[in-house]
Structures are given as structure tokens and as C-alpha cells.
Structure 1
Amino acid sequence: MFFKTLSGRFLLLTTLFVMLAEVLIFVPSVARFREDYILSRLERAQIASLALLATDGMIDAQLEKELLENAEVYNVVLRRDEVRQLVLSSPIPAPIMATYDLRDVPAWQLIRDAIGTLLHPEARVIRVIGDPVKQAGLLIEATMDTGPLRVAMLDYGLRILGMSAIISAVTAVLLFLAVRRLFVLPIRRVMQGMSLYAEAPEDARRIIEPGATILELREAEEALKSMQQQLTGSLRQKERLAQLGSAVAKVSHDLRNILTTAQLFADRMEDSDDPMVKRATPKLVNSISRAVGLCEATLAFGKAEEPPPTLTRFMLSALVDDVIEGEKAAAGDCGVDFITDVAPTLAMRADFEQLHRVLTNLIRNARQAIEATRRPGTIEIAGGESEDGWWIRVGDTGPGLPERAREHLFQPFQGGIRKGGTGLGLAIAAELVRGHGGQLELLKSGEDGSEFLIRLPRDIIPAPARAPEGAH
């Protein structure tokens, strides 16, 4: 798993490349060592031959043997004054297998000969030729065994490889730490910044702040910051537009109800005998129709938070009568009867306009549900007071809520029960009641009708937000 990361792969590649470089250095080094080894043996052989020449060849066999063993050669030939002279000699244990001339030899040939020596594990007798030291002749040649030469080359090679391994490891670690510090950590910081921003792109505090010292990485961070700023700005703008659309949808829903009532009254104005009224009525009706159409078009927007209620004291019966009067005008002669059970002296403290909207939505939903059955029905509104606050009950004899509406109760755009309905009525009503610290709940719903209950406390204590459940 480690070698799948950028750091691990860089460490592996660094080690391989350093080892490759060490190999490229190792082979010439071994070739140079072999050359120096052979030249040192030729130098010893030259010294031994000069000692013999200094005594005019008067040297016993034992001393000659010691000189050859010291030089690690079998015999020495020294050419002086164009005369080739065998100076020192001893029995050669095997035939001479190869001759190597070290005078002006190219580097590639030294490398080839060194590799050949390493690849032949058995000892061989070779002849080597070189220039005498201090120009003590034209050339010097000697025969020698490759066994000690190969052992010395292997020892030298192992020491070089060991040192190369240490250098490679140290170099790889240093490069790994440097790259991790300069590249990997800044890249990881950018990745963490992207992940953190993705969790909440609308939060401007999560936009990355460029901090890389490397020019390319800093340019990448600045480009990412610019992109995040644009995205956050776009999300905020869309959120504001969504909130505005939600608010417009709610206002349009209730305004459509108001305009529908006004349209009914305007229709009745056509029967007026006043010529001026007759002339103005068609224009008024057309204007209201256009306003109703505009409200219908804006109902595609979502839900927005309502303002806090403005509390005043008023008679509940007056509010209920006002709502019923408008619904009676809208119902006409469709067979819907309204029954109220509210004491004329019952006063309550709430936001008159918001509670008017709540009752209008509940009663209008009930009326439309009864009208959809094409049978007569009844809507009953009752109200009362308890120690904790006030309650208002709205019941009807309609067909009841369908299963889908009960599953999505108080959820906007989900629980419409009639064709063209948006499901906003109960969502708006529930939110307005929650704004008072109260609760709107469905007491029952079946074939014999539905019944809703509004509970309002004496003091507004905002209820915790809960997920909407459906709409009527």
C-alpha cells in the first residue's frame, strides 16, 4: 500500500536510480582496480629483475624464488636496448590462456577484461605487458595467476557495493524527506482543503488560503481558491434566490385566495345599475384575473421562514366570522354549511393576520374537499380556552385525506389532494402556528371527514423544528 502512494513510489524510484548510478560507477572502478593491481605486480617484478641485474645474475635459486613470490609472478621478461631478456623465471603450472597489453589500452577494453576476469571463477595463467617504471627499459612482461587477482577484485567490489548501498539509502531517504516536505505535504494540504470545502461549500471559512512556497503549487492553490470563491458565491446567490422564491410562493398562495374572493365580488358588480361601475367592472375583473394567474405561476417556489408573529388581543369570534364570510362568498350555493362554536367574549392573544391565514387555509381546504365530492357538507369551527392557552378545532364532513397526503402531512409541494393544488396550505399553516410556539395536528381523517386542532400557548415559546409530514 505504501508503494502506491506518491511518497512510496518516489522513494522506490530514487533508490533504483541511485543504485543504477552506483553500478555505472562500480564497473569502471573495478576495471581501474584491476589495472592498478596488475601494474603494481609489474612494478614489483621490475624491482626484482633490477636486483638480479645489479648482481650480474649471481643469485641462487632460493633467492630468485623469493623474488618471484614477492612479485606474485611466475617469470619476468625485461626488454632493454631492443634486447628481450628473460630475467627471472620459475615453472609455470598451466598454459598461458591470454595476453593483456596495458600500454595505451582504451577504457572500454579495460572494462571488458575486468568483467571477463570476474566471470571466470577458475584460476588461469595470463601474460601481462606494460611500460617499465622510470623508463628502465622498453617494456616489461610477466606471467601471473588470475586467482589472487580475482579474489582482490571481489573484495574490492564488495566494499564498493556496500558503500554504494549505504550512499544509496542515505540519498534516497534525504530525497524522500525533501520531496515529502516540498511536494507531498503541500499537495496533501490542498487535498485536505478540497475535502474540507466539499463538506460545506457554502461556508466561506473553508476556502483554502494559498501558502505553498513552490510557484507551481501556489498557482494551483490560487486557482483553487478562485474557483471555491466563485462556487461559494454562486451557492449563496442560489440560496437567496431559493429563499426569495419560497417567500414569493407563500405570498402568492395566500394572495391568490384573497384575489379569488375579490374576483367573486367583482363579478357581482356587473349587476350594478351604475353606468360607471358597469364600465369599470370588466377592467377590474381582468386585472384581478391576471393577478390570480401571476400568483399561480409563482407557486413553483419553495418554503421560506415566516417573520415572528406580532401579538395583539382580539376576539376569536370576529376572526372566525371574517374568514367564514369570505369562504361563503367563494362557496356560493355549492351546499357547504358553516357552523361555529366560539364564545363571543373569547379573547386571545396572537398575530391576527397570521392566524387569519391559518384558518383560511384550513377552511378553504375543507371547502374544496367537500366541493370535490359534489355532495352537501358541513364545516365546523370551534374554539376555547384552557389553563395553558387557546385551542381552535376545524372539522369537515368531506372524504378525508388520501393516504399520500397523510404520509406527507405539512410538507410543501407533496400533499396536494386536488388537481392543480400545491400542498402549500397546510405547510404555511403549520409554520405560522409553530411561530406562535403552538402546534397544528390532525386529530382524525376518514370517510366521515377530517378534523384539525390548533393549540396556541399564552406565551410564545418557539417549538423545536421538525420535519414536515404532509399537506391537505
Structure 2
Amino acid sequence: MFPNSLSGRFLALTIIFVMLAEVFIFVPSIARYRQDYLMNRLERGQIASLALLANDMIDPELELELLRNAGVFNVVLRRDEIRELMLASPMPSPVAATFDMREPPATTLIADAFGRLFDPTDEVIRVIGNPTKDAGLLIEITMATAELRASMIDYGLRILLLSAVISIFTATLLFFAVRALLVKPIKGVVSAMKSYAAAPDDARRIIQPGASVRELAEAEHALRAMQTDLTSMLRQKDRLAALGGAVAKVSHDLRNILTTAQLFADRIEASEDPVVSRMAPKLMNSISRAVNLCESTLAFGKAEEPPPKLDLVSLARIVHDVIEGERLAIADGGVQLRDDVPPGLMVRADPEQLYRILSNLVRNARQALDAAKKDGEIEVAAAEDAEAWRVTIRDTGPGLPPKAQEYLFQPFQGGARKGGAGLGLAISAELARGHGGVLELTSTGPEGTCFTLSLPKTVVTAGRAAE
């Protein structure tokens, strides 16, 4: 429990801090004890001198007994400006130091006390003070330091022992209080996390906040919110996995159906009807792109989007095909499609994948305008600089909702319209990365939305790739 547990460390720190506080109490208290000890000797010396004041002549043996009881060697009393030796006995050594106890500063008392505490030498010292009850102007005594130091050590040991008992008792109370108020609730949170980790899809294992401590209650609520979101995401992941499998199966069967339709379209293309002859190539292109889309959907489901076959292609021709395909879906002509691509602009890209990127973006813009039931304009423009070709797709639609912006380019989550799966932007962004480029949302709002597709001009050779 102790070295590495919260309770054990808290117990140890409590003992240390209480002992440290007791040390700060011990320093002035030991100085105070020495002051009281010396003042007591002064009072006892003064009381011993009263016998001489009552009787000018006393027996030498009585004088020695009075001095021994007072714990001093001699007593000097100053009365009426006369300094008089009241009691005297032989001193074992000369006076080593003099201490004036008449209102000494605290720092001096502390320094003198610790100086005596750490000095084992038995010396004779002179102590000066004021007589009690105004019985004179000044009183002096001489005394040995051995008994003073022994008494100070005994007092200090008793103080330290009492401090240790108080520290252990206080730390024990705090230990049990912390275990009840903090450690047990924290262990409960840890147990709830372990239980949830064992089966994150089981909603019954989501923690139920119940801590009384505010910080722990906040942690439990945050953990509950995280677990709830994670459980929802796991369920959504399972649904998306099932949906992905279903889409892959549908795409596989749809590809077979479109292949059959392609064979019939080949026969229709041979018709001599001028209207059929004019529409047949567009029908063939649409069916071919539908077949490619099914194959790409299968590849996306396997996370195996084929690498692009890069070549210099006419951007204007691809944009023209995209716009012509979208014009067929515009019923009343309320949406205007504009092409602002220089006719001779060539870009290095896979034509089919570039068509899919632009088609997804233009279709999304057209569907946004249709959903808003407003007339508008969609413009595809292009420019180039020394580093890249840049294609912008701009519309005057209502802009992307906040959820679509938050999950932009994420499959099945970034859909901007009701019923949308959000695959178009995810596929377009992945295809752009396959070209070494990037698809970015440049701006969105009530005035419209703008996407920018950047395709790099540089080609990474084997030598540069190895750098």
C-alpha cells in the first residue's frame, strides 16, 4: 500500500509536514524555555538574598545552602546605586560570558539558546536581570551551564516526542479521511474504467456518477460523456461496417447490370437516327463512368483505391464533360453552370479520377442549390503558377452546415444534405491525395461555398524519393 499508493504517500507527507511545523514551533519554544530558566535562577537568587537582608550576619553553611538551593554561585544586588555582593561561594572557573535578560531581542534569545544547546562545555556565566517587585535596581548571579544544558535537552526531547505523537495521530486521521473521501472513489472510477474496457459496447457498464467531492464528480461526468460517445461510435462503426459490406455487394451486382447495359448501348450507337447518334456517345460515357464508379466503390470498401495513371490531359475537356453531364440533371434551368478554364491548359492527372473529383464537387454544389430551392450559379475556374495547377469550384448556395464542416472529408459522416452518405467528398479527397495534391474547403457561408483542388507540377523521381 505505502510507497507507491496515494494513501501511503499522503501519510508520509503529512508526518513530514507536521514535524516541520513542530520544528518551527520548537525553535522559539526552546529559547523561551532557556529565558524562563535563567529568570527563575534570578528570582531564586533574589529570594536567597532576602535572608541576608533580614539578618546582616548569617552562618556560612546556611549561605552555601541558600546558594545551592538557588542553583547559583553568588548573588549581587544593586540597591540605591550601590552594587553589593549579597551571597558568595567559590566558583570552579572564571566567568565565560555575561547575558543580560532585561528585554533581550528574540533573535538574541534564539541564538544564545542554540549556542548553549550545541556547546557541551560546562562554563560559568553571569546573568543580569531586574529584581522582582522592584526590590532593587539590578540583580546579578553566576551559575554553571551544565544543569541548564541538561534541562534544555530534556525539554527538547519531550517536545520532539510530543511532536512525533501529534504528527502520527494527525497523519493517521488524515490517512483514513483521504481513503474514505478520495482513494475509494478514485478506485471506483478505475474499476468502472476497467469494467467498461472489458465490454465497451455494453451500455450497462457506463459509469454512474455518484461522488460527493466536486472534482471527482466532474471527472465521473466527463468519463461518462466519453464512454457514452465511444459506445455510440462503436455501434456506428458496426453499422458502417455492415453498410460497407452491403454497398460492396450492391456495387458488384450493379457493375454486372451496367456491363449488360453497355452491350446494348453499343448496339444503339449503330442506329442511323440522328438524335440517337448524338445522344449515344454521352450514354456510353455515362455507362462507362458508372461501371468505373462501381469498381471504385468496391476498391474503396477494400481500402485499395488504385493509384492514378498520371498523364498530361486537357482540363478544359474534362470540365466540359462534367458540366454537360450535370446540365442533363437541371430541369428548369434555374442553376447556371459556368466554365472558366483556359482552353489550352494541360494538367498532369488521371483523367477518370480527375473527372470523378470534379463531378462530385459540381454535383454537391448543384444538389445544395436544389435543396435550398433557389437559383444560383456554379463556376469551375482554373489557374496555374510555378508550383501547381489550381482548380476552384465555387457556388452561390447556402453554405455548408456546421456538422458537415466538422466531419468534412470523412466517409458516412460529412454529408451536407439530408439523405447524403458523405462519400463524395471523402472519395474526392482520397483521389486528390493519390495525385500528390490536396482538396481544401476555401470558404463557406451564406454567400456560397468554394473548394480548391491543387495538383502539384513537380514529379518525384527515384533519385529525389531516395533523398
- Same fold by TM (over 0.5)? yes
Q: Could you say if the C-alpha distance between residues 281 and 38 of structure 1 is closer, same or farther in structure 2, counting changes exceeding 3 Å?
A: closer
In structure 1, C-alpha distance between the alignment counterparts of 2:18 and 2:283, rounded to whole Å: 91
Q: Offset of 1:243 from its aligned partner?
A: 1.1
Q: 2:237 aligns to what?
A: 238
In structure 2, C-alpha distance between the alignment counterparts of 1:259 and 1:112, rounded to whole Å: 102
SS of structure 1 residue aligned to 2:141:
strand
Q: Offset of 1:37 from its aligned partner?
A: 1.4
Q: 1:29 aligns to what?
A: 29
Q: Contact conserved, 1:45 with 1:76, CA < 8 A, in 2?
A: yes
Q: Offset of 1:22 from its aligned partner?
A: 0.6
- CA shift digits 1:14-49 (9 cap, x unpaired): 222111111111121111111111111221111111
Q: 2:76 aligns to what?
A: 77
Q: Contact conserved, 1:245 with 1:301, CA < 8 A, in 2?
A: no
Q: Offset of 1:78 from its aligned partner?
A: 1.3
- CA shift digits 1:302-354 (9 cap, x unpaired): 69xxxxxxxxxxxxxxxxxxxxxxxxxxxxxxxxxxxxxxxxxxxxxxxxxxx
Q: 2:146 aligns to what?
A: 147
In structure 2, C-alpha distance between the alignment counterparts of 1:270 and 1:111, rounded to whole Å: 113
In structure 1, C-alpha distance between the alignment counterparts of 2:140 and 2:59, rounded to whole Å: 22
| 2:113 is equivalent to residue 114 of structure 1 | yes
SS of structure 1 residue aligned to 2:98:
strand
Q: Could you say if the C-alpha distance between residues 300 and 198 of structure 1 is closer, same or farther in structure 2, counting changes exceeding 3 Å?
A: farther
In structure 2, C-alpha distance between the alignment counterparts of 1:92 and 1:271, rounded to whole Å: 142
Bigger mean CA offset, 107-116 vs 1-10: 1-10
| 2:262 is equivalent to residue 253 of structure 1 | no
Q: 2:214 aligns to what?
A: 215
Q: Offset of 1:72 from its aligned partner?
A: 0.8
Q: Could you say if the C-alpha distance between residues 73 and 270 of structure 1 is closer, same or farther in structure 2, counting changes exceeding 3 Å?
A: closer
Matches within 5 A, 1:267-416: 292-300=291-299
Q: Percent identity?
A: 68
Q: 2:65 aligns to what?
A: 66
Q: Which amino acid aligns with 2:33?
A: F
In structure 2, C-alpha distance between the alignment counterparts of 1:189 and 1:34, rounded to whole Å: 54
In structure 1, C-alpha distance between the alignment counterparts of 2:17 and 2:40, rounded to whole Å: 35
Q: Could you say if the C-alpha distance between residues 261 and 83 of structure 1 is closer, same or farther in structure 2, counting changes exceeding 3 Å?
A: same
In structure 1, C-alpha distance between the alignment counterparts of 2:58 and 2:223, rounded to whole Å: 91
Quick check: which has more Rg, 1 or 2? 1
Q: Could you say if the C-alpha distance between residues 278 and 88 of structure 1 is closer, same or farther in structure 2, counting changes exceeding 3 Å?
A: closer
SS of structure 2 residue aligned to 1:142:
strand
- CA shift digits 1:257-316 (9 cap, x unpaired): 45545655776788999999999998987776565444323324669xxxxxxxxxxxxx
Q: Which amino acid aligns with 1:59?
A: I
- CA shift digits 1:124-173 (9 cap, x unpaired): 10111122222221121111111111111111111111011111111222
Q: Contact conserved, 1:42 with 1:141, CA < 8 A, in 2?
A: yes
SS of structure 2 residue aligned to 1:208:
coil
SS of structure 1 residue aligned to 2:3:
helix
| 2:161 is equivalent to residue 162 of structure 1 | yes
In structure 2, C-alpha distance between the alignment counterparts of 1:203 and 1:96, rounded to whole Å: 88
- CA shift digits 1:371-426 (9 cap, x unpaired): xxxxxxxxxxxxxxxxxxxxxxxxxxxxxxxxxxxxxxxxxxxxxxxxxxxxxxxx
Q: Contact conserved, 1:127 with 1:142, CA < 8 A, in 2?
A: yes
Q: Offset of 1:111 from its aligned partner?
A: 1.0
In structure 2, C-alpha distance between the alignment counterparts of 1:166 and 1:13, rounded to whole Å: 15
Matches within 5 A, 1:35-114: 35-55=35-55, 57-114=56-113
Bigger mean CA offset, 141-150 vs 232-241: 232-241
Q: Contact conserved, 1:247 with 1:302, CA < 8 A, in 2?
A: no
In structure 2, C-alpha distance between the alignment counterparts of 1:37 and 1:190, rounded to whole Å: 58
In structure 2, C-alpha distance between the alignment counterparts of 1:123 and 1:181, rounded to whole Å: 54
Q: Could you say if the C-alpha distance between residues 264 and 134 of structure 1 is closer, same or farther in structure 2, counting changes exceeding 3 Å?
A: same
SS of structure 2 residue aligned to 1:127:
strand
In structure 1, C-alpha distance between the alignment counterparts of 2:282 and 2:68, rounded to whole Å: 133
Q: Which amino acid aligns with 2:169?
A: V
Q: Could you say if the C-alpha distance between residues 42 and 281 of structure 1 is closer, same or farther in structure 2, counting changes exceeding 3 Å?
A: closer
Q: Which amino acid aligns with 2:91?
A: I
In structure 2, C-alpha distance between the alignment counterparts of 1:270 and 1:45, rounded to whole Å: 136
In structure 2, C-alpha distance between the alignment counterparts of 1:20 and 1:178, rounded to whole Å: 21
In structure 2, C-alpha distance between the alignment counterparts of 1:144 and 1:43, rounded to whole Å: 13
Bigger mean CA offset, 24-33 vs 283-292: 283-292
In structure 1, C-alpha distance between the alignment counterparts of 2:148 and 2:92, rounded to whole Å: 17
- CA shift digits 1:152-197 (9 cap, x unpaired): 1111111111011111111222223333333343344334434443
In structure 2, C-alpha distance between the alignment counterparts of 1:277 and 1:128, rounded to whole Å: 130
* Cα RMSD for the two superposed structures: 3.2
Q: Which amino acid aligns with 2:114?
A: I
Bigger mean CA offset, 286-295 vs 79-88: 286-295
In structure 1, C-alpha distance between the alignment counterparts of 2:52 and 2:279, rounded to whole Å: 147
Taking structure 2 as the reference length, the TM-score comes to 0.57
In structure 1, C-alpha distance between the alignment counterparts of 2:268 and 2:24, rounded to whole Å: 107
Q: Which amino acid aligns with 1:18?
A: V
Q: Offset of 1:221 from its aligned partner?
A: 2.6
In structure 2, C-alpha distance between the alignment counterparts of 1:255 and 1:149, rounded to whole Å: 107
